[in-house]
Structure 1
Amino acid sequence: MKKEHSLILKAVLQNKSEKEIREIDKILDSNLDWIEIAGIALNHRLGGYIYKGLNTSQQKKMPKEVVKALELLVRAQKEQFEENLEEICKVNDALEEAKIKFAVLKGAFFGCEMYEKGTRRSNDIDLLVYEDDLGKLDTCLRAMGYIQSNMSNGEMVEATKKEKIIQRMNYHDLVPYVKKTKMGILELDINFLFDGNKNLIDKNVYEMGTMVYKGRYRITGLNPYTNLAFLCCHFYREATDTIWTEGKRDVTLYKIVDMMNFIRFYREQINYDIMIEVLKKLNIEKKAYFTFKIMTEFYEYEFLSEMLSRLDEYKSGDDEMKAIHDTKNKTTIYRDETFFEKTFARG
C-alpha cells in the first residue's frame, strides 16, 4: 500500500491506539505527495476526518497551506452541522411526540454520537421511518414547514405524484422533504425499507427496538446491532447496482471509514454471538459478509476477521463479489478491479 493511502486510512480513525499513533508519526516523517493526499481527502469527503484525527504535533508536520485549508473546511462543516443539529433535535422531538416509529441514521447519527463537530460533512438528514407511519410523518413534517421536492433547477417546488411514485419504486425511499434555512436548503431523506422490497424485515427491526441516545445530544436511533446491520445493507445496495456505481458512489471512501469508526466506537458493546443472531433474524448474512469482506481490503481488524469466520457459510464467490446489477439493461456486469483499486484510482 502506498504510504499516502496508509496515512489517510490511519489518520481518519477514531480512538487510535498508541501503536497507530506511532505508525502515523513514522509516515509523516517520510517524504509524502501532499497533492495526492489533499486530492483524495477532498474527493472522498475526508478533510475533516484527517484534520480532527491528527494531533497538534502531527499537524505541524503537514504543509501549512494544507492545514489552513482544512481548518477552513472544518469551520464551515461545524457551522453547517450546528444548524442541522438544531433541526435534527426538533424533528426528533416532533416525531417522538407524534408516536412515529423512526430512527436517526448515518451522518446525522454519526455527528450526534461519534464525531466532533466539523469532522464530517453531511448534506442531509437521514431517517428510517416505519412504512405504516408515513402518513403521520407527512402531516408532522408539513406542519414544520417541509414540502416534498426534487429541487429541479434549484427550485423548491412540490414534487408531482408521478415523481413520488417513481422514487418509491426505483429507490425504495421518498422524494426528499426540504425546507429553507439560514444555510440554504435542508433535506430530509426518508427511508422506509431497512433492506430491499424482497426482504421486508422492518417489523422485525422495530421489534428489536430503537433506543434513545443521551450522549452529547438526545436522539432516537437503532441499537448498535441493527445500526451496523443497516450500514451493511446500505453499503451492499450501493455497491451492487449501477444506479449508484455509475457515479462512483460505491467507492466514496468516507462510507468505509464511517463503518470502521462505528465498529471501533461500539466495539465493547457488540457481542459476536448476538451480532450473528441479529444478521440471521434479518436474513442479511450474505450482505454482511460482502460488506465486512470489502472492508478488509482497507483495514485489518479483529472484529472483521472474526465476523467473516463466523459467516463463512454465507461467503460470496469471486463472481458474486464482483457482480453489479445493471438496472437500465436488466443484466449483470462485473467489476474488473478491486474496491481498493477503484477507490484510489485517479480520475
Structure 2
Amino acid sequence: MQKKEKELFKQLCSFRSDRFDKELLQHASPAVLGHLFFNRMQGAAYSVLKKNECLGAVNREFRNSLKGAYEQNVERNRSFFQCVRLLSGLLAQCGCSAAMLKGALLCRLYPEGCRTANDIDLLVHPRDVGLLGRALSEAGFRQGNIRNGAFIPAARREIIESKLTRGETVPYILEIGLPYMRFLEVDINFSLDYKNSAPDVLERMLNDTVVNEGIVTLNRSDFLIHLACHLYKEAATLPWVKMKRDMTLYKYADLYLLLDRMSDSEISEFFRCAEERGLGKICAFAILQTAELFDFKAPALLTQAKEALLEEKDFLHRVVSPGEKKTYLYRTRDITERFFLDDRVSDLQEEDGR
C-alpha cells in the first residue's frame, strides 16, 4: 500500500479517536479494504465512517462491503452471546476454576458490530485441563479444527504438540447450528506464554476473578495483563509469524480499547500488578506496539512502558523459535512499517550470543 492508503487504514481502525481527516478518504482503495478484512477491522471501519458522517464519501463498493460485514457482525454476536451463556452454565457445573477471556467480554465492551469472536477462550490452571476437557467431551465437544466449513478431528500428535509449544489445547468444537455460527469453538489456555510457565501467577489470577457483563472473568488489571501476554506470545513466536497471525490488528485493538484514556491511578495499578507477576516487560511490549499502531498518546502509560524496557533495547524486536531453540531480531525497527511488510519472516535475522 501507498503512504496515504496506510494512513487511511490506520484512521479507519482508530474507533476511539476524535480526529478524522476526510481528505484521506480519496485513498479508499481495494488494498485498504483488503487490509481491513484481513485484520478483522471491517466493522470498526464502518462504525468510524458512520460516526464521522462520511459513508457517502467513499466508493459504493467500498462502503457496501463494510456495511454488509458490520450487519453480519451484529447478527453473529447475537449467536455468540448465546454460546457464552451455554458455556457459562457448563462451567458452573464443572468444578474447576476457569475465567472467560478476550471476546467473551470484549464483544460487549466495543461499540456494536465492531468486534466479533470466532471462539471462546478460557484460562485454567494446568492441573484442571483434563477435568475441563472431559466436561466438554461429555457435552458433545470434540477436539479438532474447522477447515473449509467441515470439522477435522485432531491427531494425537497435534494435541500433544499444542500443549507443549503453545500453552493451549487444540480447540474443542461443538456443532451448534446458530446463524453465522455453525460451530462453537472453545480454546483452553493454561499458560501465559508458549513455555507453559508461571502456574503460580495463573493461580493468583484465578483466585481473584470477578463477574463482569454476566460472565466470570479476570479483574481489570489481570484481564489487561492476559491480553498483553497473549499478544506477545503470538507476536514474538516464530510459528505465528510464519502463519501470518502474529500482528493481526484486532488483537492490538483490544488493548487500544482498554488502555486508551486510562487514568493515572489505573495505569499505576496495572503496572504494579504486572511487575508483581513478573510480566512488566511483556506488558510494555504490548503497550508500546499498540500505541504506535494506533497513534494514541498517553504520557504516563508510555513512560512507564519505556522504563520497563530500558535494559532490553531489543525486546520489542525479538522473535523466539521454540522448536529450534533460537532467537531472531527484526531488521525493520519501525513497528508500523513492520506491520505492513508482506513477509515478516524474511525480515528476521538470527540473533548472536543467545
Same fold (TM over 0.5): yes
- Aligned ranges 1:132-143 → 2 under 5 Å: 132-143=127-138
Gap change, CA 1:69 and 1:280, over 3 Å in 2: same
Segment of structure 1 superposing worse, 308-317 or 40-49: 308-317
Amino acid of the structure 2 residue aligned with 1:344: F
Aligned twin of 2:242: 246
Residue 293 of structure 2, aligned match among 293, 298, 311: 298
CA contact (8 A) 1:145 1:179 kept: yes
CA contact (8 A) 1:251 1:339 kept: no
RMSD: 2.6
The secondary structure found in structure 2 opposite 1:345 is coil
Gap change, CA 1:185 and 1:167, over 3 Å in 2: same
CA contact (8 A) 2:8 2:28 kept: no
Aligned twin of 1:188: 186
Q: Deviations over 1:6-42 (max 9, x none)?
A: 333233334443xx2xx343533xx324223212212
The secondary structure found in structure 2 opposite 1:186 is strand
The secondary structure found in structure 2 opposite 1:54 is helix
Gap change, CA 1:285 and 1:119, over 3 Å in 2: same
Are 1:258 and 2:254 an aligned pair? yes
Residue 131 of structure 1, aligned match among 126, 130, 147: 126
Q: Deviations over 1:87-117 (max 9, x none)?
A: 111101221243431222122321133241x
- Aligned ranges 1:206-225 → 2 under 5 Å: 206-207=206-207, 209-214=208-213, 218-225=214-221
Gap change, CA 1:326 and 1:162, over 3 Å in 2: closer
Are 1:228 and 2:224 an aligned pair? yes
Amino acid of the structure 2 residue aligned with 1:186: L
CA contact (8 A) 2:99 2:216 kept: yes
Distance, in Å, in 2 between the alignment partners of 1:152 and 1:64 is 32
Higher relative contact order (CA 8 A, sep 6+): 1
Amino acid of the structure 2 residue aligned with 1:25: K
- Aligned ranges 1:302-317 → 2 under 5 Å: 302-303=297-298, 305-315=299-309, 317=312
The secondary structure found in structure 1 opposite 2:36 is helix
Q: Deviations over 1:217-275 (max 9, x none)?
A: x222211111111111111111211111112212222222221012238x359612211
Normalising by structure 2, we get a TM-score of 0.84
Unaligned regions of 5+ residues in structure 2, if any?
Answer: 344-354
Offset at residue 179 of structure 1 (A): 0.8
Are 1:237 and 2:238 an aligned pair? no
Aligned twin of 1:25: 22
Are 1:321 and 2:316 an aligned pair? yes
Amino acid of the structure 1 residue aligned with 2:248: T
The secondary structure found in structure 2 opposite 1:198 is coil
Aligned twin of 1:9: 10
CA contact (8 A) 1:290 1:321 kept: yes
Aligned twin of 2:114: 119
Amino acid of the structure 2 residue aligned with 1:273: S
CA contact (8 A) 1:13 1:261 kept: no
Distance, in Å, in 1 between the alignment partners of 2:294 and 2:197 is 31
Offset at residue 328 of structure 1 (A): 3.7
Are 1:175 and 2:173 an aligned pair? no
CA contact (8 A) 1:238 1:249 kept: yes
Unaligned regions of 5+ residues in structure 1, if any?
Answer: none
Normalising by structure 1, we get a TM-score of 0.86
Distance, in Å, in 1 between the alignment partners of 2:127 and 2:234 is 25
Offset at residue 277 of structure 1 (A): 1.1
